[in-house]
Amino acid sequence: MDRRRGETRQVRLRVNGQDHVLTVGGPAADVAVTHTLAHTLRETLGLTGTKVSCDRGACGSCTVLVGGEAKLSCSMLTVECDGLDITTVEGLADPVTGALDPLQQSFIDHTAFQCGYCTPGILMSAKALLLKNPRPTQADVQEALSGNFCRCITHYHVLEAVQAAVEAGAASATAPDSRRARR
């Protein structure tokens, strides 16, 4: 029962394709046993794109992808994240070219934010939806984003931005000839 005495443990995380080994407990600790994943991403790894708003799992600001699914990083203990593959908003852009994800570009094109604090969480929920379902209906989008709150009430702009990204994605997935034929 040595491990009950809270001696040093290592947590391996893959964040945006990059591997990290973090030490929990002991004098050389990177992370305390009480730290949430949101805290570790922001304060230990410097990935401040993930936001913490309510810190109680109700607002969705801290949403990140864990194995492609939208989860609340404020409600996960880092010590329980060993071996997880995490994507934050910083991981959406192309790591080589720096080109924004089409969803991000669409949010810019549709001004789908005001203060922007909830935007990273909304982007990650939207990304999780599109990974599972590249052609969602408006109702699917509303359902997938129902756990993300925006106090500036940009929800309508967000729906337009996601829908536009879906349509652009569908169009680019179609051969140029058939696109011309449809016009």
Partner 1 sequence: MRSFTHVTAGSLAEACALLSEAGGKGRANAGGTDLLGVLKDGIHAQGPELIVDLKAVSGLAEVSREGDEVRIGALATLASLDRSTLLRETLPLLVQAAHAVGTPQVRTMGTVGGNLCQEVRCWYYRYPRHVGGPVGCLRKGDGPCLAVKGDNRYHGVFGGRGCFAVCPSDLAVALTALGAVVDIAGPDGSRREVAVEDLYEPTTLTLAPGELLAEVRVPVPARPTRQTFLKFTVREPVDFAVVSVAASLDRDGPGCRDARIVLGGVSPRPHRALQAEEVLRGGDVDDQTAARAGEAAVAGAKPMRHNAYKIGIARTLVERAVRACLDA
Binding residues (CB under 8 A) for partner 1: these are 3-6, 32-34, 36, 55-58, 60, 63, 69-72, 74-77, 79-80, 82, 125, 143-144, 146-148
Comparison of 54 and 99: residue with beta carbon closer to partner 1: 54
**Residue the block writes with tokens 């060993």:** 82
Q: Nearest distance from residue 48's CB to partner 1, in Å?
A: 20
Q: Nearest distance from residue 146's CB to partner 1, in Å?
A: 4
Comparison of 36 and 104: residue with beta carbon closer to partner 1: 36
Comparison of 142 and 163: residue with beta carbon closer to partner 1: 142
Q: Nearest distance from residue 46's CB to partner 1, in Å?
A: 22
d(Cα 107, Cα 163) in Å, to the nearest integer?
A: 10
Contact yes or no for 24/33 (Cβ under 8 A): yes
Give CA angle at 74 (130, 117), nearest 5°. Answer: 65
**Residue the block writes with tokens 């991981």:** 91
- Cβ neighbors of 69 (< 8 A, separation 6 or more) are 128
